[in-house]
C-alpha cells in the first residue's frame, strides 16, 4: 500500500535538497528517485534541488489520481481501503436523513467486513432495488432506526 505523505511542512516558496525534503516528509530519500522518474521536476541534478511548490503539486496530483469514487453498486470498505460491492442480502438501511440520503450498511463481498456509508438518495434507491432492502418513501423522510 502506498503511504500517505503529508506535505504541510513543505513551503511552496522554498527550495529543498532531497535530504531536507525527505526529512520533513518523514520518508526515505530514495523515494525521491521514484518520484523524479515519474515526473517530479528538479531544479538541479547535482545537488538535487526541488521547489516546494513542485513537491506539493506532485503529491496533490498523485493523491487525486488514487481517489476512486464508489459507483452506485458499491460502498467503501475501510478494511480493503477500496470501493466494494456489498453482499446483496446484507445491505440494510441504518437511518434515513431528511434530505433522502441514508446511512447504509452492508458486508464487503471481498473481505466480509461491515461497510457503512452515508449515501445520496439516488444511490439508496438503486441499492434498495437491487438488494430487497425497504424502498424509501416520502413517509420515511425522517430519522428512522431500522432493525439491526
Ligand atoms: Zn473489504
pLDDT digit string, tens, across residues 61-97:
988 887 788 888 899 998 988 899 988 788 888 888 8
Same domain as 134, residue 85: yes
- For 113, the enclosing helix (H) or strand (E) is none
Which domain covers residue 125, as residue numbers? 74-140
Predicted TM-score (pTM) of this structure = 0.53
Interval between CA 103 and ligand 1 midpoint (Å):
18
Interval between CA 109 and ligand 1 midpoint (Å):
7
2 is a domain residue: no
The Cα–Cα gap between 46 and 117 comes to: 49
The Cα–Cα gap between 18 and 136 comes to: 55
Interval between CA 5 and ligand 1 midpoint (Å):
23
Interval between CA 85 and ligand 1 midpoint (Å):
9
Q: What is the pLDDT of residues 138-147, one digit of tens each?
A: 344 344 444 4
Edge-to-edge strands of the sheet including 48-51?
A: 15-17, 48-51, 44-45
Same domain as 105, residue 53: no
Interval between CA 83 and ligand 1 midpoint (Å):
8
In this prediction, residue 140 carries a pLDDT of 40
Last residue of a domain, one of 45, 66, 87: 66
In this prediction, residue 138 carries a pLDDT of 38
Interval between CA 115 and ligand 1 midpoint (Å):
8
Amino acid at each position: 500500500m502506498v503511504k500517505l505523505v503529508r506535505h504541510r511542512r513543505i513551503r511552496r516558496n522554498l527550495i529543498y535538497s532531497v535530504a531536507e525534503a525527505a526529512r520533513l516528509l518523514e520518508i526515505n530519500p530514495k523515494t525521491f528517485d521514484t518520484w523524479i522518474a515519474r515526473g517530479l521536476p528538479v531544479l538541479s541534478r547535482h545537488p538535487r534541488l526541488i521547489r516546494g511548490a513542485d513537491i506539493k503539486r506532485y503529491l496533490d496530483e498523485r493523491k487525486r489520481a488514487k481517489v476512486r469514487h464508489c459507483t452506485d453498486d458499491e460502498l467503501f470498505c475501510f478494511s480493503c481501503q477500496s470501493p466494494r460491492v456489498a453482499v446483496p442480502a446484507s445491505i440494510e438501511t441504518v437511518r434515513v436523513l431528511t434530505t433522502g440520503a441514508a446511512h447504509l450498511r452492508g458486508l464487503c463481498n471481498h473481505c466480509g467486513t461491515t461497510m457503512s456509508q452515508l449515501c445520496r438518495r439516488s444511490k439508496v434507491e438503486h441499492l434498495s432495488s437491487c438488494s430487497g432492502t425497504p424502498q424509501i418513501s416520502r413517509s420515511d423522510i425522517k430519522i428512522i432506526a431500522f432493525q439491526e
